[in-house]
C-alpha cells in the first residue's frame, strides 16, 4: 500500500538511555481573562511583527515567505526555517527551547499515552486556534495517514504557548506569538501547509547505535533519511509511505 502525504512540495515547499521529557502543569486549563481570539491574535501580530521584519530582512526574507518547522524532543528544541523570496533553500531563522513537553523518545501510539508524536506533520490555516486555553495554538495534524495506517490514536496535538502541556510542544507566550505571526503570514501569502517534522533527537549513525535493540530503530532510520534530505537539499522533501515506512520521494 502506498500513499502520499499532504505536504508542501519542493517548490513551496544520541545516545541516551530512556530520556524523559518533563511535563509542566496540567493538560488543559481555562484562562478567563484572556482577550477574545481575534483580538488576541491581532495584538500578538502587532507585537511580534516589528522585530520579525528586522530579523527577516537580515536574511533577505519578508514576513509571508514560506516557513518550515523542525522539532527535536530530546534536545527540547524547535527550529524554524524561512525560504527568502519563496525560492531556493530554506535558511534557519530561529531556534527556540521547547518550554514543556512530556513522555519519552519514541512515537505517540495511543490517546492518553502522554507522548509527543514523532513524524511528518503540517499546520494548515484551519489548524490555527486564536482562542486557545494556551494563549495561541496550532494543530500539527496528528494522527496523519501514516499514523492511522498503524492504528495510532490521539488528537489535538499542538504547538502552543503557556509553557505547560502534556503531549504537545509548549513554548513561552512571546515565542508562540513569533511562530504564529510567521505561520499565519505564510498562509496568507499562499503556503497551504507549513511542514512540521518532529524527531526524537538529532539523528545520525552514532546516535542510533545506542538504540540498536529499540523497536523504533527502523522508524528512526526513516526519519533520519528525511532529516538528512532537508539538510542536503534545503527544502522539505516530498514524503510517501509504503508498508508502514516513511520514504523520501525521488
Q: pLDDT tens digit string along 131-170? A: 999 999 999 999 999 999 999 999 999 999 999 888 899 9
**CATH classification at residue 62:** 2.40.440.10
| Residue 54 within a domain | yes
| Residue 195 within a domain | yes
pLDDT of residue 37: 87
* Percent of the chain surpassing pLDDT 90: 80
Cα-flanking dihedrals φ and ψ of residue 203, to 5°? -95, 125
Number of structural domains the chain divides into: 1
Q: Is 163 a catalytic residue?
A: no
Task: Give the Cα-Cα-Cα angle 193, 194, 196 (nearest 5 degrees).
Answer: 125
pLDDT of residue 44: 95
| Residue 221 within a domain | no
**Which entry of 135, 168, 187, 197 is annotated as an active-site residue?**
168
Helix (H, G, I), strand (E, B) or coil at 2: strand
| Residue 120 within a domain | yes
| Residue 130 within a domain | yes
| Residue 32 within a domain | yes
Confidence band, pLDDT 50/70/90 cuts, at residue 100: confident
Q: What is the pTM of this model?
A: 0.86
pLDDT of residue 101: 85
Nearest to 137 by CA among 107, 110, 165, 116: 165
Domain that holds residue 175: 19-203
Give per-residue pLDDT as tens, 12-35.
Answer: 333 333 333 333 333 333 344 578
Sign of the alpha-carbon dihedral angle for 236, 237, 241, 246: negative
**Which entry of 135, 160, 187, 197 is annotated as an active-site residue?**
160
Span of 135-144, 164-173, 196-205, 228-237 with lowest mean pLDDT = 164-173
| Residue 247 within a domain | no
| Residue 187 within a domain | yes
pLDDT of residue 243: 86
pLDDT of residue 34: 74
pLDDT of residue 33: 54
Q: Is 160 a catalytic residue?
A: yes
Amino acid at each position: 500500500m502506498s500513499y502520499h502525504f499532504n505536504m508542501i512540495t519542493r517548490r513551496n515547499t544520541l545516545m541516551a538511555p530512556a530520556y524523559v521529557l518533563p511535563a509542566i502543569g496540567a493538560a488543559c486549563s481555562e484562562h478567563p481573562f484572556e482577550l477574545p481570539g481575534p483580538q488576541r491574535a491581532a495584538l500578538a501580530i502587532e507585537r511580534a511583527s516589528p522585530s520579525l521584519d528586522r530579523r527577516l530582512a537580515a536574511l533577505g526574507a519578508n514576513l509571508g515567505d514560506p516557513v518550515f518547522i523542525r522539532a527535536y524532543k530530546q534536545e527540547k528544541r524547535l527550529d524554524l526555517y524561512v525560504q527568502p523570496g519563496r525560492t531556493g533553500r530554506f535558511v534557519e531563522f530561529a531556534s527556540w527551547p521547547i518550554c514543556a513537553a512530556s513522555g519519552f523518545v519514541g512515537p505517540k501510539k495511543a490517546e492518553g499515552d502522554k507522548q509527543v508524536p514523532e513524524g511528518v506533520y503540517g499546520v494548515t490555516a484551519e489548524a490555527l486556534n486564536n482562542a486557545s486555553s494556551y494563549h495561541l495554538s496550532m494543530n500539527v495534524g496528528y494522527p496523519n495517514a501514516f499514523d492511522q495506517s498503524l492504528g495510532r490514536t490521539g488528537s489535538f496535538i499542538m504547538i502552543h504557548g503557556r509553557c505547560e502541556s502534556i503531549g504537545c510542544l509548549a513554548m513561552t507566550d512571546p515565542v508562540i506569538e513569533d511562530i504564529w505571526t510567521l505561520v499565519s503570514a505564510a498562509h496568507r501569502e499562499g503556503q497551504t501547509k507549513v511542514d512540521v517534522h518532529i524527531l526524537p533527537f538529532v539523528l545520525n549513525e552514532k546516535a542510533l547505535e545506542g538504540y540498536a535493540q529499540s523497536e523504533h530503530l527502523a522508524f528512526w532510520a526513516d526519519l533520519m533519511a528525511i532529516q538528512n534530505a532537508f539538510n542536503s537539499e534545503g527544502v522539505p522533501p516530498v514524503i510517501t509511505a509504503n508498508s508502514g515506512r516513511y520514504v523520501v520521494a525521488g
